[in-house]
Amino acid sequence: LAKTTQPISMDSYEGQEVNITCSHNNIATNDYITWYQQFPSQGPRFIIQGYKTKVTNEVASLFIPADRKSSTLSLPRVSLSDTAVYYCLVGDRVNNNDMRFGAGTRLTVKP
Amino acid sequence: EAQVTQNPRYLITVTGKKLTVTCSQNMNHEYMSWYRQDPGLGLRQIYYSMNVEVTDKGDVPEGYKVSRKEKRNFPLILESPSPNQTSLYFCASSLKPAAYEAFFGQGTRLTVV
């Protein structure tokens, strides 16, 4: 299971774009990269998933370079309500038997 | 509506009194799992189940039991709760583990006194 490394915390201001990078040097060929968001006392919520290049949905974008050893979650024009913990997970769709969360990145958006 | 339902949301109990936290999903997912979340320790997986009658230990299984008799239900059982099991518990389900979108329940805040 590829280990992931993220910054412990980040601060931003309303209206800014926020980029959170996740390092996964040991990512395997079949691994996908998935990001979750968690608000206090709530369960994590799926944000986005990708395999390579760029994925965009109504909430965020995910950038994955060609070597796939890292990925960047991009949140456009954050608001106070985006204050949460963001988790990066890496795993494949065939062999993974578990789903382990790392420490995540605590994003604080200030007015 | 696709959802994972946990009950109860809040529970205060005494040491040694057996309890069960229920988890049910309506998405016909094969994979279900339980996590506990404690301040400073993040989400730690307790048990997971790949399908009916198939369960396995996660990172912190001591003091817990699970069963998967039906696809939709995955109860968490504490046979003899202790204060160190005071925590926030989440149940999750997904089509498959890891690389598929997982849906989480609302959480159960358990206090053992």
pLDDT digits (tens, 9 = 90+) for B59-74: 999 999 999 999 999 9
Which residues of chain B make contact with A91, given a CB cutoff of 8 A?
Answer: 97-99
Mean pLDDT of all residues in B39-44: 86
**A96 contacts B43? CB cut-off 8 A:** no
pLDDT tens sequence across A18-74: 999 999 999 888 888 999 999 988 999 999 999 999 999 999 999 999 999 999 999
| pLDDT computed for residue A97 by the predictor | 62
Q: Which pLDDT band holds residue A2 (cuts at 50, 70, 90)?
A: low
Residue B113 near residue B24, CB atoms below 8 Å? no
| pLDDT computed for residue B98 by the predictor | 64
C-alpha to C-alpha distance for B113 and A9, rounded to whole angstroms: 33
C-alpha to C-alpha distance for A13 and A4, rounded to whole angstroms: 26
| pLDDT computed for residue B40 by the predictor | 81
pLDDT tens sequence across B9-30: 999 999 999 999 999 999 999 9
Q: Hey, of A1, A97, A105, which one would you mutate to test binding to chain B, going by the most B CBs within 10 A of its CB?
A: A97
Alpha carbon B30 to its chain centroid, in Å, reads: 15
| pLDDT computed for residue B96 by the predictor | 76
**A91 has a pLDDT exceeding 90:** no
Q: Hey, of A1, A41, A93, A98, which one would you mutate to test binding to chain B, going by the most B CBs within 10 A of its CB?
A: A98
Q: Which of B33, B50, B99 sits opposite A91 (nearest CB)?
A: B99
| pLDDT computed for residue A98 by the predictor | 66
